[in-house]
Structure 1
């Protein structure tokens, strides 16, 4: 039995770390190519330029055009080659990161990932999700290694809209429960091996951190301040969940997220918001202890995550639509197959409605 755990070579987190970007990256090369989300360029560029002044490093900025697609990846590859850059830096959100990782992979350069939000656990992963030019899913690009450096400036992240951090809590909340399911079923993790005890421990610590600091961190970011609780939640959302999901494995919660895409109204929700409801559905499928389900419901209620279909903008529950979701959840190859028991569309249909009723009764 092969066990595999993946991780970035170095994870760096703290207030003001963006001003040290060049110092951290200089160990990888001397000419940085910074791909930056155009919506935040004015916010982050001064600190990045300041970081270069104290280092023997050159820097070239390029605005990310908004879609992680092969045409954008190839456009940036041409610029990197023309300018002889030797380190790729991705600053922004998930699609900026995935594009940067892909560019680094195809050009055989090291990559530094700089998340400016903590809404998902993608920054630490060895994966890029590639879309068409029109934004339709195309393929997964599985990378041979995780990023060389993940650098998180918590001062920047704490000033992003609070809903993004809350969505990250939803995504991170599923990590422990999905890893636990994969551990029980001995399913392969996202790296093609079995879950290690270390990955399982990180996944559990992730959940415990959310319970301890989720509410306090949510209140703090609503006030645009970075407290110790915010620091802890950023680490949980980004690193603990990132290692936990990739090295632990995915199961029911993310499969439910994928199934919910069958209902157009849910497209208004962030990834982590839908995953949070998916966690409740997975727990109902497992017939988890009442205390555990109520613990998850309490956390969702405290931070403002969806617990009902109405919260997911599904205001009229149509049986045929819920069954369409359930069938998509059970599509061949989706992660519902990692549950430690067989799951049918009828099981998922019942669990979705059961989770909805539990959410309503808790409210």
Structure 2
């Protein structure tokens, strides 16, 4: 099935100024985060005039239930990925439109027809897909160029993962038009590894960075929209989900843990790209060992069990040799597997 969630995507210097004519006479309600909302107000002070409600921090069933008490004509999501996923879930449940204003360049939540659901403690539970209609994604350059660099870097890793995971699931070509379209977009995401993502480049916000931002926020989300299960998640995200069960990993960003999962995935398949991927992750100071992620050697068996369980939950074909997975993780405990 092909699902696309966004009617319009506006990435420009001043995009936020169009919000108020877009709302028109409708009753709007802003779902706001703790940090990005203030930055959005700095860029566009009129945003403070729109009624708002505070997001508590997790895209959980409990949070969705709490916020459903509000019934605006249109929701406006101002924040990061978990906030946006929460707003999508509510908008779908209430059959009302949604406007998304991402304040971080950290993931493709602004463009995906799904919400990743976590427990109140931050543990991954599942993802829900649905036919959501986002009226517009407002990606304002003035807001994004000053956003936290670490989130941008993690967002690039998560976007690059689209290629490796889509390839793991479906190979490099498909006779299915949707999957082939997803693979083509995923290949574009993989090509981001060839571009510089240094912080000074990000702050300069030149042509390459604009393209990278578009891939993180939009193109990466369209991969799964076209390819559906044929391009969506594979071992890397199963490893991410398994790692999220350990408290020591909670301070790492989503993309950081996905990047480590990519190392595991590519080693499992004896990929020729494994070393190139590992060197790239090391060069941008992403975690490449379990020690960096706070996982002890004596926790590896438990981690393997969780990875296998997550792959079963996601419908990813099972690992034939769990001992090989253990061996890879043991060698990734302190140093990158050689």
Q: Given the two structures, how large is their TM-score scaled by the length of structure 1?
A: 0.80
Cα offset, 1:6, TM superposition: 3.1
Summarize the alignment of residues 168-317 of structure 1 with structure 2, pairs less than 5 Å apart: 168-184=155-171, 196-208=179-191, 210-213=192-195, 215-221=196-202, 224-246=203-225, 247=227, 248-289=231-272, 292-314=273-295, 317=296
Cα distance in 2 between the residues matched to 1:147 and 1:186: 30
Is the CA contact 1:263–1:321 (under 8 Å) kept in the aligned structure 2? no
Q: Deviations over 1:101-159 (max 9, x none)?
A: 12212221111121110112222112223445565556544322353322212331221
Q: Given the two structures, how large is their TM-score scaled by the length of structure 2?
A: 0.85
- Greater Cα offset, 272-281 or 168-177: 168-177
2:38 aligned with 1:64: no
Cα distance in 2 between the residues matched to 1:46 and 1:219: 22
2:90 aligned with 1:103: yes
2:322 aligned with 1:345: yes
- Greater Cα offset, 194-203 or 273-282: 194-203
Cα offset, 1:38, TM superposition: 3.3
Q: Which residue of 1 aligns with 2:302?
A: 324
Q: 1:299 to 1:138 in 2, by over 3 A?
A: closer
Aligned residues: 333
Runs of 4+ residues over 6 Å off in structure 1: none
Gaps of 5+ in 1: 53-57, 188-192
Cα distance in 1 between the residues matched to 2:120 and 2:302: 27
Cα offset, 1:211, TM superposition: 1.6
Q: Deviations over 1:68-118 (max 9, x none)?
A: 3445434433332xxxx3211101012221221122122211111211101
- Greater Cα offset, 65-74 or 195-204: 65-74
Cα offset, 1:245, TM superposition: 4.1
2:10 aligned with 1:12: yes
- What CA RMSD, in Å, does the superposition of the two structures yield over aligned residues? 3.1
Cα distance in 2 between the residues matched to 1:102 and 1:337: 22
Is the CA contact 2:16–2:140 (under 8 Å) kept in the aligned structure 1? yes
Q: Which residue of 1 aligns with 2:147?
A: 160
Gaps of 5+ in 2: none
